[in-house]
C-alpha cells in the first residue's frame, strides 16, 4: 500500500495521496483490537485464525513483487547466516504492514494457545523491518527529495493516533522474530537492513 521509491536525482513533482490509508487505519483500530480479543478467547478459533493469517501472508510471497523474497547466505565469524537481499534505499518500500502487525499482535496473545510457525521467520519480520528502516532513514535526511507526503506518513507512524497499530506493532513483530530465531541471525539481518553489515566485516 502506498509504496515509495527513494528519489536521488530530482525532487518529487507531485505529492502522492497518502491520507486515505491512515484514515482507514484510524477507523479500523477498534475493530482490530476487538478481532484480536475475539481470536484469543478460544483456543480453536485462535489456531484457525492464526493459520489463516499465516497462509494469507504466504500468498503475498507469490503474488506481490515486493514480497518475493530473495534469500542469500552471508558469513560472519566462520558461521553462515541467511538474510533477505533487499535495500530500502534502492527498492520500493511501504510504511504499511497490516498483516504481519496483526500476526505479531496475535502471537503476543497466544499464552495457552501455542501454534507452530512453519514459515520462515525472516519473511514474517521483513515488512516491519523495512518500515522501521524507512522511518529512521527519513528522520536522518536520506529521503529529502520525496516531499512532504513521506514526512507526513513518518509523523503519523509514531503519532499517538496511529502509533499503537504501527510503530508499537513493528517493535512487537521484531520481538516475535527474536524469540523464534537464532539471535545472531536476527542481529545480522538487522544490520544488513540498516546498511551496517559492511562496516561490521571491515
Q: What is the pLDDT of residue 201?
A: 67
5 within a domain of the structure (yes/no): no
Q: What is the pLDDT of residue 202?
A: 58
45 within a domain of the structure (yes/no): yes
Domain of residue 24 covers: 19-201
Q: What is the pLDDT of residue 131?
A: 96
What does the pLDDT average to over 17-43? 93
Q: What is the pLDDT of residue 195?
A: 86
List, for residues 87-133, the tens digit of each pLDDT value: 999 999 999 999 999 999 999 987 667 777 767 889 999 999 999 99
50 within a domain of the structure (yes/no): yes
The pairs formed by 146-151 with CB atoms below 8 angstroms and a separation of 24 or more are 146/4, 146/6, 146/7, 146/12, 147/11, 147/12, 147/15, 148/15, 149/12, 149/15, 149/16, 149/17, 149/18, 150/4
How many domains does the chain fold into? 1
Output the 3-class SS for 16-71.
Answer: CCCHHHHHHHHHHHHHHHHHHHHHCCCHHHHHHHHHHHHHHHHHHHHHCHHHCCCE
What is the reported pTM? 0.90
104 within a domain of the structure (yes/no): yes
Q: Is-contact 143 137, C-beta < 8 A?
A: yes
Of the candidates 152, 196, 156, 142, the one whose C-alpha atom is nearest the C-alpha of residue 6 is 142
CB atoms within 10 A of CB 127: 24
Task: Note the residue count of the chain.
Answer: 202
49 within a domain of the structure (yes/no): yes
The Cβ-side half-sphere exposure at 56, using a 13 Å CA radius, reads 13
13 within a domain of the structure (yes/no): no
Q: What is the pLDDT of residue 66?
A: 72
Listed in sequence order, the DSSP H helices in 93-144 are 98-108, 121-139
Amino acid at each position: 500500500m502506498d509504496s515509495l521509491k527513494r528519489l536521488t536525482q530530482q525532487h518529487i513533482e507531485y505529492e502522492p495521496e497518502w491520507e486515505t490509508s491512515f484514515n482507514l487505519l484510524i477507523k479500523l483500530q477498534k475493530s482490530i483490537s476487538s478481532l484480536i480479543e475475539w481470536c484469543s478467547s478460544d483456543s480453536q478459533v485462535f489456531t484457525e485464525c492464526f493459520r489463516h493469517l499465516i497462509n494469507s501472508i504466504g500468498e503475498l510471497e507469490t503474488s506481490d513483487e515486493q514480497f518475493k523474497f530473495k534469500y542469500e547466505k552471508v558469513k560472519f565469524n566462520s558461521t553462515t547466516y541467511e538474510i533477505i537481499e533487499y535495500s530500502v534505499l534502492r527498492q520500493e518500500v511501504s510504511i504499511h504492514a497490516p498483516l504481519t502487525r496483526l500476526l505479531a499482535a496475535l502471537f503476543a496473545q497466544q499464552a495457552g494457545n501455542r501454534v507452530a510457525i512453519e514459515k520462515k521467520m525472516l519473511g514474517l519480520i521483513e515488512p516491519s523491518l523495512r518500515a522501521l528502516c524507512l522511518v529512521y532513514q527519513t528522520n536522518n535526511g536520506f529521503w529529502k527529495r520525496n516531499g512532504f507526503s513521506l514526512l507526513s506518513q513518518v509523523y503519523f507512524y509514531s503519532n499517538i493516533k496511529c502509533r499503537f497499530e504501527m510503530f508499537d506493532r513493528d517493535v512487537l513483530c521484531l520481538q516475535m522474530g527474536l524469540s523464534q530465531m537464532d539471535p545472531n541471525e536476527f542481529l545480522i539481518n538487522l544490520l544488513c537492513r540498516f546498511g551496517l553489515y559492511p562496516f561490521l566485516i571491515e
